[in-house]
Structure formats: structure tokens, C-alpha cells
């Protein structure tokens, strides 16, 4: 089987098309702080508008726990979408109720409506096939076809992602197709040298992707909070830094496996150690084998890779033809501990080949640090979905669209 794309649905002029996007954007005081996911949905929406389809856009936002919650409303997203599309976008105050039906019935060819947060209905995320199916059937009343384009949720068996695709004629949008093209290039015959850069807080979040990619990569670079478990596995003391003691044996296994496979595993040579977890905390640079040798002793906490490590990582990245990066190198939200992440991001912009930022916190970091999406080969919209794909897992939201 292969992925069903927009072309498989034929002419959609005058057709009500439900478009399942991932518009799960960060909000602060009711304002969108990063509209990357909204902008990522535009190619598919514009293609459908150009065909004269009547669009019913739906998405989740946050975790409202199956009930309406004003702070998770998609109203600001509908407003931003209107600005980006350059045309009015109707907004329904519910998901499958009177407001949604009224908004949809008022659509003309090429018009767009956004319905309220799908997760305001408990059926969207229910573990019960029956409950999810019931909500999906209600959603199906709003449309004649489904275009699934929320890559960030394809690893979830949810009503709008999985069940609805079995009720209506369904196909993947351009965003999902583009994501799969890039991820396929990362797993099947990537250009070499191929380097994977992993960061973020926990090793346990990356176990699957490390196992799946180790046989495929030339270099593996480890930073972020997870680096301290690797350093501890080598026998180094890490003070009060994040440490998953229950993963030490697993990490030692990865270190051995990398050596046996000839994979160059590059671990930090130094780190920025702080007196505490705070933006204004006193901090120093310490060698990786002497993290407790600072004036903070065993209470010091590592919050970023050090400058020597950042330089080594950047050189390895620039020398590669394919690079996948997932997870910040430090607490980039605090300026004092953002240098490592910024150095890695800049190096990715200088890759002569394919550079991929693996969604989630990595995507947020590059934008917050002043980089443009166009500086990279690809910025994924799905952190968890990208990782599960790279782990070799089956993703229900893709399988239902014919992907194998």
C-alpha cells in the first residue's frame, strides 16, 4: 500500500472537506507565541481553497481534559489563520453542535470555517473504540471527505485522526506527505556522513530512536539533560544534574553497541554548571570529568553543554550530509544556558545536504533564538510522531491512510 494523497479524492469543488490540522500552538495571555504550525498548514488549505472546496478545519489545542475550557479555545488560531490566508475564517463555538453546523452550512465554495477544540469532547481521545467512533460519526456529519494533515497527531489513535478516516473518503494533505518524504530520507539510504544529534531532558524518551538509528548513523551526538546519564554511565559524577539511574545499564549497552558498530559516539567534554535551576543562577564551565569540582560541589546542576562541546558538535554537524536533531542542548529558555542550543542550530543551517529539526522543543528553540524556518532543510511539526516513526513504530493515523 502507499499513502493516499489529495489527488486520490478527485475534484473537491463544492465539497465539504474536513481538514484535520495540528494547530496546537503555544499561547500566552490569549496570544499565539509561535505560529509555525498554523503556517505549516497553509499549503494544503490553499490547495483546497484553490479547488473550490468548502473547508471545515479542526484541531486540538492543549489538554483540556474532555470539557470546554476558555484558555484552550481555538479562537486566536482562527483569527491568525484568517490573517495568513488573507480572507475571513468563520469560527464555531463548539465541535459538533449547533454553532458548528451553522458555520458549515453557511460555507460557499472556497470558504473556511474552524470548529472549536476537538478535545473539548471526551470522545476525541477516549480509549473506548465505541466512544471515539460515536464522536467521529458526529464529525462526519460536517463533511463529505477528510484530509488528514496533522502530522503531530498521527501516532495517536484518536477520533478525528483514526476513526473519522474510516468513515469518510480520506487522504493525506501536503504537510503529512512532506514529513514522510523527509523521514523516509532519514531512514532509507541517507546521504553520508549521517549524524544524529539528541538532546532534551530524558534518555528514557529517546530509547527507541537510539536503538533504531544506531545501525544507520555514522555519528551520534548526545547533549541536553540526557547527557548526564551517559556521563554517569562512564563513571563520572554529575552532582545535582538530571540523572536517570535506572537507565545506566541501558546507556552502557548503547556505548558498547556504538563502539562495535563503528558509530562515532560524541559525548560532552564540558558543561555549564549552575548553582541552581534559575535564569540568574551563578554558573561556571566545568570539564565533563570534574562536574563536582566547581565551587558548587555536589549541588551544582548542569544546564547546558559547554563551549568546547558546542564547538566539537558544530564541526561534526557541518561535516555531515544528513543531520537529524531532536532535543535542546540546554535550558534554552534561559539566556545564560542557551548558547549550546544556538551553536547547534547555527551549524545545522550550514549543512551541505539535508538538515532536519525534529519538532517539539527543538522547533520552538530555533524560532525563539531568532532562526527562520527557511534556514533549515526541514522543521518537523511533530516531535513525538517523528520520534515514533524513527523508532520504526506503526502509526495508526498513517496506516489508516494506506501507509505501510
Q: Kindly list the catalytic residues.
A: 37, 202, 360, 384
Is there a binding annotation on residue 24? yes
β-bridge mates for residue 304, sequence order? 272
Is there a binding annotation on residue 185? no
Residues with Cβ within 8 Å of 147's Cβ and at least 6 positions away in sequence, in order, are 6, 9, 17, 18, 19, 20, 44, 48, 170, 171, 172, 173
β-bridge mates for residue 197, sequence order? 221, 325
Is there a binding annotation on residue 94? no
Is there a binding annotation on residue 22? yes
Is there a binding annotation on residue 4? no
Is there a binding annotation on residue 2? no
β strands within 186-266, DSSP E: 194-198, 219-222, 264-266
Is there a binding annotation on residue 231? no
C-alpha pair distances (Å), 44 with each of 4, 49, 402: 14, 9, 19
C-alpha pair distances (Å), 344 with each of 249, 276, 320, 362: 28, 24, 13, 11
Is there a binding annotation on residue 367? no
Q: What is the 3-state secondary structure (H, E, C) of 22-74?
A: CCCCCEECCEECCCHHHHHCHHHHHHHHHHCCEEEEECCCCCCCCCCCHHHCC
Is there a binding annotation on residue 54? no
Distance of CA 106 to the CA centre of its chain: 34
Is there a binding annotation on residue 52? no
Is there a binding annotation on residue 186? no
Is there a binding annotation on residue 35? no
E strand or H helix at 269:
none
Nearest to 160 by CA among 130, 141, 180, 133: 133
Is there a binding annotation on residue 132? no
Annotated binding site for (2R)-3-phosphoglycerate: which residue ranges? 37, 119, 156
Annotated binding site for ATP: which residue ranges? 206, 302, 333, 359-362
Annotated binding site for substrate: which residue ranges? 22-24, 37, 60-63, 119, 156
Annotated binding site: which residue ranges? 22-24, 37, 60-63, 119, 156, 206, 302, 333, 359-362
Amino acid at each position: 500500500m502507499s499513502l493516499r494523497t489529495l489527488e486520490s479524492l478527485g475534484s473537491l469543488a463544492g465539497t465539504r472537506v474536513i481538514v484535520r490540522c495540528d494547530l496546537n500552538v503555544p499561547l500566552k495571555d490569549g496570544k499565539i507565541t509561535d505560529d509555525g504550525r498554523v503556517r505549516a498548514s497553509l499549503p494544503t488549505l490553499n490547495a483546497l481553497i484553490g479547488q473550490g472546496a468548502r473547508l471545515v478545519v479542526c484541531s486540538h489545542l492543549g489538554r483540556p481534559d474532555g470539557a470546554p475550557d476558555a484558555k484552550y479555545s481555538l479562537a486566536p488560531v482562527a483569527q491568525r489563520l484568517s490573517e495568513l490566508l488573507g480572507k475571513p475564517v468563520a469560527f464555531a463555538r463548539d465541535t459538533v453542535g449547533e454553532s458548528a453546523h451553522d458555520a458549515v452550512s453557511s460555507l460557499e465554495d472556497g470558504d473556511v470555517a474552524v470548529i472549536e477544540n476537538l478535545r473539548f469532547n471526551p470522545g476525541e481521545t477516549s480509549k473506548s473504540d465505541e466512544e471515539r467512533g460515536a464522536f467521529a460519526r458526529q464529525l462526519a456529519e460536517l463533511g463529505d471527505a477528510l484530509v488528514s494533515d496533522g502530522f503531530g497527531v498521527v501516532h495517536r489513535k484518536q477520533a478525528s485522526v483514526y476513526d473519522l478516516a474510516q468513515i469518510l473518503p480520506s487522504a493525506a494533505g501536503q504537510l503529512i506527505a512532506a514529513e514522510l518524504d523527509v523521514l523516509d530520507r532519514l531512514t532509507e539510504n541517507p546521504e553520508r556522513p549521517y549524524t544524529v544529534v539528541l538532546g532534551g531532558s530524558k534518555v528514557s524518551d529517546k530509547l527507541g530512536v537510539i536503538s533504531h538509528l544506531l545501525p544507520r548513523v555514522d555519528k551520534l551526538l548526545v547533549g541536553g539533560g540526557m547527557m548526564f546519564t551517559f556521563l554517569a554511565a562512564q563513571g563520572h559524577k554529575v552532582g545535582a544534574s538530571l540523572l536517570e539511574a535506572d537507565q545506566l545499564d541501558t546507556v552502557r549497552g548503547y556505548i558498547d553497541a556504538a563502539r562495535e558498530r563503528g558509530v562515532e559516539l560524541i559525548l560532552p567534554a564540558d558543561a555549564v554548571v549552575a548553582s541552581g535551576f534559575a535564569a540568574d543562577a551563578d554558573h561556571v564551565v566545568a570539564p565533563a570529568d570534574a562536574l563536582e569540582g566547581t565551587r558548587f560541589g555536589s549541588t551544582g546542576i548542569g544546564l547546558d553543554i559547554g563551549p568546547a562541546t558546542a564547538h566539537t558538535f558544530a564541526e561534526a554537524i557541518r561535516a555531515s550530509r544528513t543531520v537529524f536533531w531532536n532535543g535542546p542542548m540546554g535550558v534554552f529558555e534561559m539566556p545564560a544556558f542557551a548558547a549550546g542550543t544556538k551553536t547547534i542550530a547555527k551549524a545545522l543551517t550550514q549543512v551541505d545536504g539535508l538538515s532536519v529539526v525534529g519538532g517539539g522543543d527543538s522547533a520552538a528553540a530555533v524560532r525563539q533564538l531568532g532562526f527562520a524556518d527557511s534556514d533549515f532543510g526541514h522543521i518537523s511539526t511533530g516531535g513525538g510522531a517523528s520520534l515514533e516513526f524513527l523508532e520504526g513504530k506503526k502509526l495508526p493515523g498513517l496506516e489508516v491512510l494506506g501507509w505501510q
